[in-house]
Amino acid sequence: MKKLTILGSTGSIGVSTLEIVAAHPDRFEVVALTAGRNLDLFVKQIAAFRPKLVSVLDNDLAATLAKMLPAGVNPEILSGTEGVVAAATHPETEMVVAAIVGAAGLLPTASAIRAGKDIALANKETLVTAGHLFMEEIAKAGVKLYPVDSEHSAIFQSMEGHRSEDIEKIILTASGGPFLNTPFEELRKVTVADALNHPNWSMGRKITIDSASMMNKGLEVIEARWLFDASPEKIDVNIHPQSIIHSMVEYVDGCVIAQLGTPDMKAPIAYALSYPERVATGVKPLDLTLFSGLTFFKPDMEKFRCLRLAYDAMSAGESMPAVMNAANEIAVEAFLNGKIPFLGISELIVRTMAAHNPHQLGSIDDVLAVDAWGRMKAGELLKAVAC
């Protein structure tokens, strides 16, 4: 019986994780859950899984939650950063599913590692902003890190049984999102509804916008650099609209090993939870005879400028990826709120990165400080790219 904490249980990854837990009550037990503002769903989750500790965004929400819980359901209720960290470090927890979106996941994930918890990582920003620090903490603590993103899980699975020194290239696949075939000029007219209409995956709003701009793939490139100790020049991106091959690894002998599957996040989540075993997920088996063909091509770095910016940030190194990520979070929020156009997302990131001089990050506090600087600067620059 593996005991779990799920950070961000009401998000898409959290919901899928709990579906896996519900399907295998003999294998997994939920010790702690955290959520933001979706109390209606959170109450249902708490009643169904009976965690010992729960946490929400602030004290007011905690008070409301206490009144909403049914009789006989009495977990410890906490709030804010203190509550999320308490959930991540709960003494009974063995594995933490880090599914909080954005830089907010940094501190609780770091705390979980230091507390000796294995990590199922769905939060890209943890490694994007502080990759070297987190990998050092993981090595020091002796804990295991399992990727949850479908692309990184595919790479992880394609590397199983093979020597890392024999890897020639890591190839991340990307669907291309809703604007794959949209001419660049038409991107100026994109609405929020257009950007949220992903052709293959069901994800939260922020991640879906990142997919539309291809920043999501850029973040995955940087994450792969740290997860698999790969030099930047060995990480490529291929557009693969069908989202059947989730990623590939090319070896020095010319062989390429890929992981295939129906697009459904329950499969990589289950693999992270149950590794090295596999468990039933309810995911529809893949039938390749139903496809007339699988296609691949290189991404247009001019059209999808966010992907190029991620490579630029990775090349600059040090604090630049954290600033890029902070600017992106501000830009996506501004786009969702109608303050900037779709192409304003990349423009705001460009301007914020141009205002930053990269410097070394020696601690999580340093990362949080540069993240705060990036948000502040991006906020100051918003007017320059406003609708």
Q: Band of the pLDDT at 205, cuts 50, 70, 90?
A: confident
296-319 tens-digit pLDDT: 999 999 999 999 999 999 999 999
- Residue 125 has a pLDDT of 84
In a domain, 244, yes or no: no
- In degrees and rounded to multiples of 5, residue 37 shows phi and psi of -115, -10
Count other C-beta atoms under 10 Å from residue 260's C-beta: 12
**Secondary structure of residue 385 in the 3-state scheme:** helix
In a domain, 312, yes or no: no
- In degrees and rounded to multiples of 5, residue 68 shows phi and psi of -85, -20
Q: Which of 87, 121, 147 is the last residue of a domain?
A: 147
CATH number of the CATH domain containing 360: 1.10.1740.10
336: which 2 tokens? 């969702």
For the segment 239-243, the average pLDDT, to the nearest whole number, is 94
Q: Band of the pLDDT at 202, cuts 50, 70, 90?
A: low
- Residue 200 has a pLDDT of 65
In a domain, 40, yes or no: yes
- Residue 102 has a pLDDT of 76
143: which 2 tokens? 């804990």
167: which 2 tokens? 């890897």
92-105 tens-digit pLDDT: 999 999 999 877 88
In a domain, 268, yes or no: no
In a domain, 68, yes or no: yes
Query: Strand (E) positions, the chain?
Result: 2-7, 28-34, 53-56, 76-79, 95-98, 118-121, 145-147, 167-174, 235-239, 245-251, 256-260
For the segment 78-84, the average pLDDT, to the nearest whole number, is 96
In a domain, 101, yes or no: yes
221: which 2 tokens? 């490139």
Report the share of the chain in percent with pLDDT over 90: 90
Range of the domain at 108: 2-147
The pTM assigned to this predicted structure is 0.91
Tell me how many domains the chain contains.
Answer: 2
CA–CA separation, 16 and 21 (whole Å): 9
In a domain, 286, yes or no: no
Q: Which of 147, 166, 188 is the last residue of a domain?
A: 147
243-298 tens-digit pLDDT: 999 999 999 999 999 999 999 999 999 999 999 999 999 999 999 998 888 999 99
Overall size of the chain counted in residues: 387
CATH number of the CATH domain containing 138: 3.40.50.720
199: which 2 tokens? 């052709």
In a domain, 22, yes or no: yes
Instruction: Determine if residue 229 is left, alpha or beta; phi over 0 gives left, psi from -120 to 50 gives alpha, anything else beta.
Output: left
Pairing mode, strands 167-174 and 245-251: antiparallel
Task: Answer yes or no: is pLDDT of 119 > 90.
Answer: yes
20-62 tens-digit pLDDT: 999 999 999 999 999 999 999 999 999 999 999 999 999 999 9
338: which 2 tokens? 């109608």
CA–CA separation, 23 and 44 (whole Å): 16
- Residue 32 has a pLDDT of 98
Q: Residue type for 279, please? A: V
DSSP string covering 182-229, please? Answer: S-GGGGGG--HHHHT--SS----HHHHHHHHHTHHHHHHHHHHHHHTT
Q: Band of the pLDDT at 177, cuts 50, 70, 90?
A: confident
Q: Which of 147, 165, 194 is the last residue of a domain?
A: 147
**Closest alpha carbon to 126 in 108, 144, 114, 141:** 108
